[in-house]
Amino acid sequence: MRPLTIFTALLVIAAAASARLMTKHEIRERQLEAAKRWQTSGRLAVRAAAGYAKPSGVKNITFTNPKAAGPEGSLDDLIFWTSGGPGCSSLKALLQENGPLSWSWGQAKPTVNEQSWMNLSSVLWVEQPVGTGFSQGTPNIQNEDDLAVQLIGFMQQFLDVFAELKGKKLYLTGESYAGAFVPYIANYIYENPTLLDLSLQGIWIGDLQAQIPAVDFVKKYAGLFSFNQTYMNYLEKTAAQCNYTGYVDKYVTYPPTGLLPLPGDSVDPSGSCDVWNDIYNNALIINPAFNIYHIWDTYPVLWDVLGDLGSSVQSPVYFDRKEVKEAIHAPVDTEWTECSNVHVFPNGDGSLPSAFTVLPNVIEKSKRTVIAHGLADFILIAEGARIVIQNMTLFADRKKG
């Protein structure tokens, strides 16, 4: 092993040395070269980026019968995807996350997404609940159970039209606030097995706790946040007063010793124990481009074909263009925004966090459950997901309490 280690170390040094040899001028040359390539191949999109786009010849977008393109793909599976919010469109995920094309921030034109989930399975991106994206109707749901009922109604109609998908293995997936939607939808399907002619296998979500680990998160990325010592001291003091300090070290150890205490009296603290909001406000003072979904972002904010929340108002928003709507058979008179301007839960979401209620049941009934988390995400923090998982009682443990 030793010779190998030395060899690796030498390689690193060599790479560092050659990186130093590149002058600023050379770097600039390469960037100009790359920019030229974009300009010649993606002229229309570049003009759109500059804000004076003409309709750029969107051709028919055809929705064919789903086909799993990848070598590992299965035609027996159907993945349902919903974005979070609540009220954010799944078309964002289709175009910028797990769909067949990628037209992400700063990209002048779309590229093929080599990591598309469609390589493995048929995927259905649904804009829900009512009030989201192109969905039609007036929002009237009070909680996640209402949401599940409406969604299953849609799925039944969907299967009437695409009857060839009946009987497929279903996986429910989604990110962010969908950590609330997906377990409740899954639970409703498990509790009402005759409603849907699909065989639910499992769920995939990315979600969970933000407050308890927020100050730890700032300390982990201290260089990135660059807060001054006065503010860091204030955060440390607040974390201690709110009983956040040392929480993860003490409680997120395996196996768990019992239920985890909630520091304070609510999963959604207000006042000085709402450190998350305080950190966010102050991060924006130092870095006006601070992005809670992707903490390394700095100025300038990148152009986004979907007019993303985090960026300045941009147009035209791709899915809101008339010719795009016509091409995908979306209602032309519905304004599309990435995240809805109306409240999709008009009186708020009356349901408790899914981990306190239905999620344990869903995990027990599912063949597979994946709870994923991005490390560059500050809106919901990875350590928080560990806290929530740690606090769930599953299988035999439930009887012990």
Ligand X SMILES: *[C@@H]1O[C@H](CO)[C@@H](O)[C@H](O)[C@H]1NC(C)=O
Min dist CB 32 to ligand X, Å, is 29
Stretch touching ligand X by CB under 6 A, among 22-30, 80-88, 109-117, 295-303: 109-117
Residue 310 interacts with ligand X (CB under 6 A): yes or no: no
Contact between 91 and 308 (Cβ < 8 Å): no
Which 3-state string (H, E, C) describes 242-265? CCCCCHHHHHCCCCCCCCCCCCCC
Please give the size of the binding site for ligand X, defined by CB under 6 A: 24
For residue 116 the two structure tokens come to 């598309």
**How is residue 6 written in tokens?**
């030395």
Q: Find the shortest distance in angstroms from Cβ 264 to ligand X.
A: 4
Closer residue to ligand X, CB minimum distance, 55 or 346: 55
Question: Could you tell me which residues are beta bridge partners of residue 370?
Answer: 204
Given the rule CB under 6 A, which of 20-28, 43-51, 114-122, 169-177 is the region that contacts ligand X?
114-122
What are the residue ranges of helices labelled H in 97-246? Answer: 144-161, 178-191, 214-220, 222-225, 229-241
Peptide bond into 331 cis (omega under 30): no
In order of 34, 162, 323, 393, the CA distances from 329 in angstroms are 36, 17, 10, 46
Out of 259, 370, 375, 394, name the contact with ligand X by CB under 6 A: 259
- Residue ranges in 242-356 assigned as alpha helix (H): 247-251, 275-286, 322-327
Where in 91-198 does DSSP place strands (E)?
101-102, 111-112, 122-125, 169-175
**Do the beta carbons of residue 35 and residue 28 sit within 8 Å?**
no
Asked if 173 contacts 83 with a C-beta cutoff of 8 angstroms, the reply is no
263 touches ligand X (CB under 6 A): yes
Our finding on whether 222 is near ligand X (CB under 6 A) is: no
* Contact flag: residue 114 with ligand X (CB under 6 A): yes
- Candidates 69, 222, 372, 375: give the one binding ligand X (CB under 6 A): 69
Q: Rounded distance, CA 185 to CA 73, Å?
A: 25
x-marked contacts with ligand X along 45-64 as a string, rule CB under 6 A: --------------xx----
**Which tokens in the block code for residue 340?**
């809805």
Cβ atoms 92, 338 nearer than 8 A:
yes
Nearer to ligand X by C-beta: 199 or 393?
393
Whole-number Å distance between alpha carbons of 126 and 163: 17
14-22, 111-119, 146-154, 200-208 -> range binding ligand X (CB under 6 A): 111-119
Strands (E), 58-110: 77-82, 101-102
Binding mask 271-300 for ligand X (x = CB under 6 A): --x--------x--x---------------
Which of 14, 35, 262, 375 forms a contact with ligand X (CB under 6 A)?
262
Indicate which single residue of 102, 140, 199, 243 sits in contact with ligand X (rule: CB under 6 A).
243
> Does 213 interact with ligand X (rule: CB under 6 A)?
no
Single out the residue of 221, 231, 280, 293 in contact with ligand X (rule: CB under 6 A): 231
Tell me which of 112, 161, 313, 396 binds ligand X, using CB under 6 A. 112
Interface positions with ligand X (CB under 6 A): 59-60, 69-70, 112, 114, 116, 119, 228, 230-231, 242-243, 259-260, 262-264, 273, 282, 285, 356, 387, 391
